[in-house]
Structure 1
Amino acid sequence: MDGLKNNKWLKKMFDIKEKWALVYGRETFCADMTTTQRSESMNSVIKKYVSYKHDLLEFFEHFQRLLDDRRYDESVADFRGNQSTPAMTFPCKILQHAASIYTHEMYEKFKDELCKGIDCEWEVDGELGNQVIYRVTPYGKTSHHLVTYDSSTNSISCSCKKFEFARFLCSHALKILMTLNIVKIPDAYILKRWTKVAKTGNVHVSSESSPEMELKAKLSFRYKELSYLYMQLMTKASECDEAYQITKDGF
């Protein structure tokens, strides 16, 4: 009888897993993915290129075509990110900072969090040395989150664990940063993989690579790094007449 009750209890808990399962994984980085959407998306893409009717050789030929198309799309996205800046929906320093460092896709996610944060209500919940704890309540909600800001280290954390889970700041933390008139995202909360310079760094080439492959890898790296630096130079130079003229004369 006890075993039957336990089975019923476990089944009931499993049926409402969406209400409790996520809590146990909030401190694990999952790139903000809460479902099997990544694998399902890849399965859908692969089905457009390969079929069970293909033999082994045909499979690899079509799979190579898939890789080539994905790399081309990636190159287009890189070029778009390095050559343009997202349009500002409203003039906000921290949003401008996000636009200058994040990729277009991550900028949109950051902007959504920022917009949600604007409507949040807050109040001081307590203080402990350099730390101030804020109670932040989202618009239309009765529940709240606790945001802790440490002025000595310029560090911030939220009980929702959004940063730990997705590696970008949540609306609750952004509300407090805006309230404190902090106009730039603290460096500790900028994950390189979400930025325009995610691919910059040392070029690692296999020891078995030919000299021709090594040269291509170096040229690709130099092009990406110089493109990003050139865009930053143009952005800064366009902000005042003197810098604009100096840059123009330099070319």
Structure 2
Amino acid sequence: MEKTYETHAMWSHYFLRDKFFGYIRTTSQCEGINSLIRFYVNRKNTLIDFMHNLDRALKEYRNNELITDFKSQCSEPVMITSLEVYERSASCYFTRNIFKEIRNEIQRARALNIKVLSTTLDKVEFSVTTLGDPAKDRRVEVDRSKNMFSCSCKLFESRGIPCSHIFCAMKFENIIEFLDSLIYKKWTKNAKNEFISTEMPVNDDVERVLKF
């Protein structure tokens, strides 16, 4: 028990709030892949069958990704919150699935109260509480000179999306544009552009291209 407690910083949620895991929780990612492959592969398959079926599973994965990318790039979601300026801005930057997560945080911001705790030069500290539950207090720090926001809930650090408390502070500061410091590039529509290119040099090594 003592040894387990000594390593609590490696598994305790409190110590992992500021660590980014990209929405992967426990074994959920592996379980999702296993459930898909199980649909195509079973113990009676020969090695050839296994390779063909695995290829079909990968094609479905890639097809689903193409469909998701198409929806993100070529369609616009319906605005449903009262903070439409943030919602519309988020829809321009983020993929559809991440946009839905951010929209939930924008909706939650409507039920929050905010007050200024301290002001020093370009920095402001806010106390953000939930309507009807003032005991649940979150602290939001704003650096006006750098347009940087940080919240004690650490949602942005752990998931890469701004929390409802930050949106509440943005509304109080009358910031109507989505700040670059709040855009996690991994979740944007154009995240692949830096890594995937259709342009290849003419004299490039064929073997290296095939491996890629």
TM-score with structure 2 length normalisation? 0.84
SS in 1 for 2:136: coil
For residues 1-251 of structure 1, the aligned pairs below 5 Å read: 21-90=12-81, 92-141=84-133, 142-201=135-194, 203=197, 207-208=205-206
Residue type of the partner of 1:192?
K
CA contact 2:40–2:53 (8 Å) conserved in 1 = yes
SS in 2 for 1:198: coil
Q: Distance in 1 between matches of 2:147 and 2:55?
A: 47
Q: Distance in 2 between matches of 1:21 and 1:201?
A: 35
SS in 1 for 2:206: coil
CA contact 2:86–2:106 (8 Å) conserved in 1 = no
Q: Which stretch has the larger CA shift, 131-140 or 160-169?
A: 131-140
Q: Distance in 1 between matches of 2:117 and 2:182?
A: 23
Q: Distance in 2 between matches of 1:24 and 1:113?
A: 23
How many residues were matched structurally?
202
List gaps (5 residues or longer) in structure 2.
none
SS in 1 for 2:128: strand
CA contact 2:147–2:181 (8 Å) conserved in 1 = no
Q: Distance in 2 between matches of 1:42 and 1:164?
A: 26
Q: Distance in 1 between matches of 2:51 and 2:4?
A: 45
Residue type of the partner of 2:206?
E
Point out the structure with the larger strand share.
2
Q: Distance in 1 between matches of 2:4 and 2:69?
A: 47
CA RMSD of aligned residues (A): 2.8
Q: Distance in 2 between matches of 1:10 and 1:28?
A: 20
Q: CA deviation at 1:10?
A: 6.2
Q: Deviations over 1:34-54 (max 9, x none)?
A: 432212111111111111222
Q: CA deviation at 1:138?
A: 2.4
TM-score with structure 1 length normalisation? 0.72
Point out the structure with the larger helix share.
1
Residue type of the partner of 1:124?
V
CA contact 2:95–2:188 (8 Å) conserved in 1 = yes
Q: Deviations over 1:115-134 (max 9, x none)?
A: 11111111111122211100
Residue type of the partner of 2:31?
E
Percent identity, aligned pairs only, is: 28
Q: CA deviation at 1:208?
A: 3.0
